């Protein structure tokens, strides 16, 4: 289940799965309306790659997906020009990067590379993107300094017609945010030094990530250019805590819905991968397999709790006078809560079965996709509460 080249760095497998699955959806959608698509890997590597063929790098993963999408679009007579830029600071890694990019299988993609520090190269990166093109920026550093601060990212964030996937090194920030020597850095990231001493570990994590996401969401200096944001947690393979958050920014509500669809599938994959990694570790240490998973029981309990919160949310946002819930509404819920779409559907279904809510546009009982948010030209279906 876990490919040999990802053993011991399962978090990279999770990150790469998200990147691959999201890019595929993105390029197939954006390709319908955009003649030129730019992909920019701001911290390209290769890094800790195991595979001789380098297929386990974000470089090969992105170029393979570009190739596949370009061909698939061409089959529908849509011809998109793809451009890709790879930035890397370290000389040794840059030499390896150059070698990877020489591969003939990517010869129909316009590929560029830049060697240097992301911080210094930000203006060159922005001017490399054609003004009329769509751009996707992948920001996957090894640390946070001179990367994730709002002012550092602002030149990229101010570019219209762009999306971003940013690796926010949560665990590294968690360890440093209370150390006085880092106060000035924390202020650059969060606008303040996060005060977390009285908080539980979960509250502390929530505070840190939401402080950052709120600042990022409103970092764009054009107040009419609304940014939407979602994030997904990547956990340590064998420990129950967050290693980093992959923060996604877009200008479009469909982006949030697609990203959350991919995140939900990723959550299932992540659970499986981590279960195997934990099992392998147990076997390595004691020669025995784990008989009973406390984590699985905890996850089940958290899911039940979350479902009851989602049901409360539905009841609060529905009234006896039915109204349509469309894709924009769905994106709003996802952005506000971070819940998965299937749980939102499941909560509505339970309320429907309890006779508390009604979908006025489904003539027969649906078992899974009880609300079609994309019906009626994405305006959705008429939903209402059955009693006050």
Ligand X SMILES: C[S@@+](CC[C@H](N)C(=O)[O-])C[C@H]1O[C@@H](n2cnc3c(N)ncnc32)[C@H](O)[C@@H]1O
**Chain residues in the site for ligand X (CB under 6 A):** 15, 43, 45, 47, 57-58, 87-90, 93, 117-119, 140-142
Task: Output 18 or 257, the one with its CB closest to ligand X.
Answer: 18
CB 57 to ligand X: min, Å: 4
Task: Output 87 or 257, the one with its CB closest to ligand X.
Answer: 87
Angle, CA of 288, 289 and 292, to the nearest 5°: 125
Whether the Cβ atoms of residue 276 and residue 1 lie closer than 8 Å to each other: yes
Give the tokens for residue 143: 């640390």
Task: Output 111 or 347, the one with its CB closest to ligand X.
Answer: 111
Strand order in the sheet with 381-385: 323-325, 381-385, 357-359
CB 218 to ligand X: min, Å: 25
CB 285 to ligand X: min, Å: 28
Tell me the pairing of strands 323-325 and 228-235.
unpaired
Q: Is 290 exposed, middle or buried (0-12, 13-18, 19+ CB in 10 A)?
A: middle
d(CA 282, CA 335): 37
Task: Output 40 or 331, the one with its CB closest to ligand X.
Answer: 40
* E-state strands within the chain: 36-41, 81-88, 110-115, 134-139, 162-168, 228-235, 242-250, 323-325, 357-359, 381-385
CB 203 to ligand X: min, Å: 28
Task: Output 58 or 220, the one with its CB closest to ligand X.
Answer: 58
CB 58 to ligand X: min, Å: 3
CB 40 to ligand X: min, Å: 12
Task: Output 143 or 201, the one with its CB closest to ligand X.
Answer: 143
Q: For residue 201, what are the contacts with CB-CB under 8 A and spacing of at least 6? A: 241
């Amino acid at each position: 289940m876990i490919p040999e080249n990802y053993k011991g760095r399962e978090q990279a497998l999770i990150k790469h799965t998200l990147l691959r699955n999201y890019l595929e959806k993105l390029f197939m959608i954006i390709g319908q309306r955009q003649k030129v698509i730019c992909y920019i890997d701001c911290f390209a590597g290769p890094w800790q790659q195991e595979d001789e063929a380098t297929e386990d790098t974000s470089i090969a993963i992105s170029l393979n997906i570009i190739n596949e999408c370009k061909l698939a679009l061409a089959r529908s007579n849509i011809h998109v020009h793809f451009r890709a830029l790879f930035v890397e600071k370290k000389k040794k890694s840059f030499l390896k990067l150059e070698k990877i990019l020489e591969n003939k299988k990517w010869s129909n993609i316009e590929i560029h590379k830049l060697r240097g520090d992301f911080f210094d190269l930000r203006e060159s990166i922005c001017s490399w993107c054609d003004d009329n093109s769509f751009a996707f920026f992948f920001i996957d550093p090894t640390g946070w300094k001179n990367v994730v601060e709002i002012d550092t990212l602002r030149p990229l964030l101010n570019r219209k017609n762009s999306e971003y996937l940013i690796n926010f090194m949560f665990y590294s920030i968690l360890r440093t945010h209370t150390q006085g020597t880092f106060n000035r850095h924390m202020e650059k990231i969060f606008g303040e030094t996060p005060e977390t001493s009285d908080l539980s570990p979960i509250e502390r994590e929530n505070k840190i990530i939401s402080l950052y996401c709120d600042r990022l969401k409103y970092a764009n200096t054009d107040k009419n250019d609304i940014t939407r944001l979602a994030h997904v947690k990547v956990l340590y393979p064998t420990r129950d805590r967050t290693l980093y958050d992959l923060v996604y920014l877009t200008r479009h509500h469909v982006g949030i819905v697609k990203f959350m669809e991919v995140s939900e599938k990723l959550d299932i994959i992540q659970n499986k991968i981590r279960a195997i990694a934990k099992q392998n570790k147990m076997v390595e240490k004691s020669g025995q397999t784990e008989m009973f998973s406390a984590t699985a029981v905890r996850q089940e309990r958290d899911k039940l709790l979350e479902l009851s919160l989602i049901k409360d949310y539905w009841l609060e946002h529905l009234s006896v006078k039915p109204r349509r819930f469309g894709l924009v509404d769905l994106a709003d819920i996802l952005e506000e809560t971070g819940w998965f779409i299937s749980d939102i559907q499941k909560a509505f279904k339970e309320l429907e079965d309890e006779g508390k809510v009604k979908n006025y546009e489904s003539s027969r009982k649906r078992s899974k996709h009880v609300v079609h948010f994309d019906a009626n030209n994405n305006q959705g279906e008429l939903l209402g509460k059955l009693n006050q």
